[in-house]
């Protein structure tokens, strides 16, 4: 599995840790520490998928997901929420805002890459179905 | 029937006869008497009362009185003229002065005013009752209810009526104008008895088959009567002759008596003696009988009266006793008792009422209710003047009425009245009875209560407002807490994410291989960070539950799958520990409607505990349905729980072997969270354990939880 992934994450350690795991999994990773920068990066680079934190400064993850949906050229890019928000309804809320996947922090470093690959393959199957 | 003398008769022949009859009489009389140039003409009434006066068979006047007057007339040189008629007609003529003399008139005081009498009586007589033979009439009492013939306008009629009235005989009197019909009436059965004078009775009774009874009454003296005025010389002459005639036993007087009376009249006045005796005796007997009768009646009546009187006295006593009782009741009843008229005037007020209002009876009776005990207006302004009219207009609505009243001293009081309006037969109001009780104190207490109530309401309102404010604050605080928890969750997990992530990366050897010691230490970091994560999760859970922030997410899921998932997650430890896992899930365990994540959390917690505390033997899981519930047990052959530990088992921060021998990891929150969660899901949790041999935790929860999300 390869491709460019965008991680929107304000915590540098977390970004570094995830990038490290994903690059070892064969992905190209670019990052943005705010929602706005993330959207700009997405528009510029059209990543294979976007890993989105929710607790972000200025513009939170929900708003970012909704904004990404508003851009037709970005609407088809899968968004995987990676969040420490574990309150009831968090998952449902972010899925409703446009995310296609949800991974809870703290992540399991042993299964993290596999989970991402799983989401992307699901998404590809969806695309295939849509093309058919 | 003696023809030709019936003057009162009807019919043409008789009237024609009447026209020439007086002339014939005059001619006859004139022809038979010596002519006297200056002789006085004396007219005499003749009627049928044989043997005293009557017309004989030849149409000549006859009888004792006629014999006597003829003798006197001859001596005095009077020329007699006879005018026939009935007794009644004769009396009329005499009163009008049409005739000079009427024979055989009994003296009465009443007649003395109308007529003039001479002084020497011609005859004495009495009346006697005659009845059919065997009639059974013997005494005056036998005449009760009988029909009795009397002579119209006679002394006997008057006397007999009086007598029957006195005896209360209720006899029916039949007045007839002439004696001659009297006996025929009785003989024919038209009457039960007839009254005649004794002379007439003696002469005629037998002929009609009648007999004399022992009833004799009203002895009377008989005279010639004259008109009141101008006949005194005639009467004087009669007196003079009569006194001489009655002294001479050979006189025309006695000859006449002998001739006309059937009984032998003894010589030299024995008849007088006898008659007088009879009269006196009869009178005496009569008065004796009457007296006895009266006495008996009086005695009987007196007795009846005194009995009645006694009864009345007893009754009166009872009545006055009753009245006294009622009056006492009325006067001393602890209620105001008032009677007033339709126009509001007080007619009665009992003593209690008088004392209560401060009026004396004289002060209050006769005065209007309004202005005395009823003020014109109540203090709160209600007009009481129309109240009396309203009570009268609608008695039912005002049967119970509360209004303000006023005492003599001006003090206002509240009275509860019961009003009863009384009506007469025509529906008019005869009066109103009002009974009242003083409820001033009750009213005051009620008013106090009302004020207290109002104050209480205000207080409650203020307190409610304060509480609402507090609640708002609390809710705001809750939101703050909620936000804090969310923030804490994020803030704690974010660094933990890096720790766990990098530890994993290092242990995977991705940045480069680790030596044995490095690997061992990195595992310790990994375990510690996992424990920290569990702690964070548990603390967040219990905080959310206790803050009421934990909401359930009810969905329908396959319980069997959930159980298997949880068993899988603990199987590495089971294998590692070398203990056995015994699974017994009934075939009908599948769909459940509950909070999947929480049910899984509970199952995992129980399994983790079982594995954690079991060093050898097995861990078992059993699940089955039971009447709308799933029952799931997790058992182990671990260290078990001491009996004294069980009660505190589900309290937060509780762990067996707290303190010294803290050999087992754990937050001490797990069972507490399980307990709270299962209760939230409508279920129960219980434990059975024996120290040293193992424990069994059993949860029971509804297959269908009430609230669906």
Q: Please give the ipTM for the structure prediction.
A: 0.86
Handedness of CA B620, B621, B627, B629 (dihedral sign): positive
Contact assignment for B489 to A112 by CB distance below 8 Å: no
Tell me the mean pLDDT in the region B588-608.
Answer: 93
Q: Which tens digit of pLDDT belongs to each residue from B398-435? A: 899 999 999 999 999 999 999 999 988 888 888 999 99
Phi and psi at residue B684, in whole multiples of 5°?
Answer: -135, 160
Residues from chain B contacting residue A94 (CB–CB below 8 Å): none
Percent helix, percent strand, percent coil in chain A, to nearest 5: 45, 15, 35
From the candidate CATH numbers 3.40.50.2300, 1.10.287.90, 3.40.50.280, 3.20.20.70, the one assigned to the domain spanning A4-131: 3.40.50.2300
| B508 token code pair | 């995977």
Q: Which structure tokens are listed for B120?
A: 């020497």
Checking if the pLDDT of A104 tops 60, the result is: yes
Which residues in chain A touch residue B501, judged by CB atoms under 8 angstroms apart?
Answer: 14, 17-18, 21, 106-107, 109, 112
Helix-strand-coil split of chain B, %, nearest 5: 50, 25, 30
Smallest CA-to-CA distance from B130 within B232, B253, B27, B213 is with B213
Nearest to B53 by CA among B154, B174, B153, B180: B180
pLDDT digits (tens, 9 = 90+) for B271-282: 555 666 666 666
Tokens of B544: 């959310």
Could you give the domains of chain B? 338-438 (3.30.450.20), 465-550 (1.10.287), 551-702 (3.30.565.10)
Q: Which SS3 state, helix, strand or coil, does residue B581 take?
A: strand
List residues bridging with B210 in a β-sheet. Answer: B132
- Give dist(CA B224, CA B127) in Å, integer: 18
**Which contacts (CB < 8 Å, 24+ apart) does range B161-166 have?**
B163/B217, B166/B290
Q: Mutual orientation of helices B516-546 and B670-680 as an angle, nearest 10°?
A: 40
Give dist(CA B347, CA B339) in Å, integer: 6
Task: Provide the token pair at B2.
Answer: 């003696």
**Per-residue pLDDT band at A88 (split at 50, 70, 90):** low
Distances (CA, A) of B545 to B22, B473, B550, B595: 156, 20, 5, 14
Shortest Cα–Cα distance, B698 to chain A (Å): 27
Three-class secondary structure of residue B135 per DSSP: coil
- Residue B545, pLDDT score: 79
Choose among B489, B495, B510: nearest Cβ to A86: B489
User: Would you call B495 and A13 a contact, using CB atoms and an 8 Å cutoff?
Assistant: yes
What is the C-alpha to C-alpha distance for residues B143 and B166, in angstroms, rounded to an integer?
Answer: 13
pLDDT for B662 beyond 50: no
- B419: β partners: B434
Domain spans, chain A: 4-131
Residue of B207, B234, B252 lying closest to B115 (CA atoms):
B234
Is B501 touching A (CB cutoff 8 A)? Answer: yes
**How close is the nearest chain B Cα to the Cα of A28, in Å?**
17
In chain B, what residues touch A17 (CB-CB under 8 Å)?
497-498, 501-502, 505
Per DSSP, B514 falls in state -
| pLDDT, tens digit, 9 for 90 and up, residues B445-502 | 988 999 999 999 999 999 889 888 888 888 777 777 767 777 777 788 889 999 999 9
Q: Chain A residue with minimal CA distance to B496?
A: A106
């Amino acid at each position: 599995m390869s491709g460019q992934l965008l991680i929107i994450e304000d915590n540098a350690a977390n970004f570094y840790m995830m990038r490290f795991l994903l690059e070892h999994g064969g992905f190209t990773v670019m990052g943005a520490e705010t929602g706005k920068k993330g959207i700009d990066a997405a528009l510029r680079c059209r990543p294979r998928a976007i890993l989105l934190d929710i607790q972000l400064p200025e513009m939170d993850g929900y708003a970012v997901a909704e904004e990404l949906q508003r851009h037709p050229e970005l609407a088809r890019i899968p968004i995987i929420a990676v969040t420490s928000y574990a309150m009831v309804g968090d998952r449902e809320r972010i899925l409703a805002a446009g995310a296609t996947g949800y991974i809870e922090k703290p992540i399991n470093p042993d299964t993290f890459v596999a989970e991402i690959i799983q989401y992307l393959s699901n998404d590809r199957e969806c695309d295939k179905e849509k093309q058919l | 029937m003696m023809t030709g003398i019936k003057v009162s008769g009807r019919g043409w022949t008789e009237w024609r006869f009447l026209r020439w009859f007086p002339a014939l009489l005059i001619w006859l009389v004139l022809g038979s008497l010596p002519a006297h140039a200056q002789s006085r003409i004396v007219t005499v009434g003749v009627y049928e009362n044989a043997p005293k006066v009557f017309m004989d068979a030849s149409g000549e006047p006859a009888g004792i009185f006629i014999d006597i007057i003829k003798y006197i007339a001859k001596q005095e040189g009077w020329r007699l003229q006879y005018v026939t008629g009935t007794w009644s007609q004769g009396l009329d003529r005499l009163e009008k002065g049409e005739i000079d003399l009427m024979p055989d008139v009994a003296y009465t005081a009443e007649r003395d005013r109308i007529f003039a009498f001479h002084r020497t009586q011609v005859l004495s007589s009495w009346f006697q009752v005659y009845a059919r033979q065997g009639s059974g009439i013997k005494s005056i009492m036998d005449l009760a209810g009988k029909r009795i013939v009397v002579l119209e306008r006679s002394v006997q009629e008057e006397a007999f009526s009086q007598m029957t009235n006195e005896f209360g005989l209720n006899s029916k009197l039949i007045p007839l104008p002439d004696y001659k019909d009297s006996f025929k009436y009785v003989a024919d059965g038209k009457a039960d008895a007839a009254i005649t004078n004794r002379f007439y009775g003696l002469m005629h009774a037998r002929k009609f088959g009648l007999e004399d009874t022992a009833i004799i009454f009203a002895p009377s003296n008989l005279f010639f009567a004259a008109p009141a005025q101008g006949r005194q010389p005639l009467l004087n002459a009669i007196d003079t002759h009569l006194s001489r005639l009655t002294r001479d036993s050979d006189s025309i007087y006695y000859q006449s008596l002998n001739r006309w009376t059937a009984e032998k009249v003894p010589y030299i006045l024995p008849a007088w003696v006898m008659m007088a005796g009879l009269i006196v005796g009869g009178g005496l007997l009569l008065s004796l009988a009457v007296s006895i009768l009266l006495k008996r009646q009086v005695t009987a009546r007196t007795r009846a009266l005194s009995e009645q009187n006694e009864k009345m006295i007893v009754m009166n006593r009872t009545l006055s006793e009753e009245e006294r009782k009622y009056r006492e009741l009325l006067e001393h009843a602890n209620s105001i008792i008032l009677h007033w008229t339709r126009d509001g005037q007080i007619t009665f007020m009992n003593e209690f009422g008088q004392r209560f209002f401060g009026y004396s009876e004289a002060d209050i009776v006769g005065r209007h209710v309004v202005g005395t005990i009823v003020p014109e207006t109540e203090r709160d302004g209600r007009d009481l003047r129309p109240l009396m009219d309203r009570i009268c207009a609608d008695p039912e609505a005002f049967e119970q009425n509360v209004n303000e009243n006023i005492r003599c001293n001006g003090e206002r009081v509240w009275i509860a009245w019961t009003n009863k309006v009384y009506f007469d037969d025509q529906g008019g109001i005869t009066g109103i009875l009002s009974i009242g009780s003083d409820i001033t104190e009750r009213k005051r207490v009620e008013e106090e209560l009302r004020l207290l109530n109002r104050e209480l309401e205000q207080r409650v309102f203020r307190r409610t407002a304060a509480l609402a404010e507090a609640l708002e604050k609390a809710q705001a605080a809750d939101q703050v807490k909620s936000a804090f928890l969310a923030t804490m969750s994020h803030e704690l997990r974010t660094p933990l994410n890096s720790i766990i992530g990098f530890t994993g990366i290092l242990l995977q050897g991705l940045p480069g291989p680790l030596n044995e010691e490095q690997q061992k230490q990195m595992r310790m970091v990994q375990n510690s960070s996992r424990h920290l994560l569990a702690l964070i999760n548990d603390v967040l859970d219990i905080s959310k539950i206790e803050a009421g922030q934990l909401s359930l997410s009810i969905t329908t899921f396959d319980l069997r799958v959930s159980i298997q998932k949880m068993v899988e997650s603990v199987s590495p430890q089971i294998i590692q520990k070398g203990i056995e896992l015994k699974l017994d899930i009934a075939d009908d365990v599948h769909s459940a409607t509950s909070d999947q994540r929480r049910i899984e959390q509970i199952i995992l917690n129980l399994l983790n505990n079982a594995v954690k505390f079991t060093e050898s033997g097995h861990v078992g899981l059993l699940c089955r349905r039971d009447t709308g519930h799933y029952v799931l047990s997790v058992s182990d052959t671990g260290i078990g729980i001491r009996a004294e530990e069980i009660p505190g088992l589900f309290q937060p921060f509780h762990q067996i072997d707290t303190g010294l021998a803290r050999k087992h990891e754990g937050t001490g929150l797990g069972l507490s969270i399980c307990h709270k969660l299962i209760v939230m899901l409508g279920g129960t949790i219980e434990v059975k354990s024996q120290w040293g041999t193992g424990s069994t935790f059993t949860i029971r929860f509804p297959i269908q939880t009430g609230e669906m999300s």
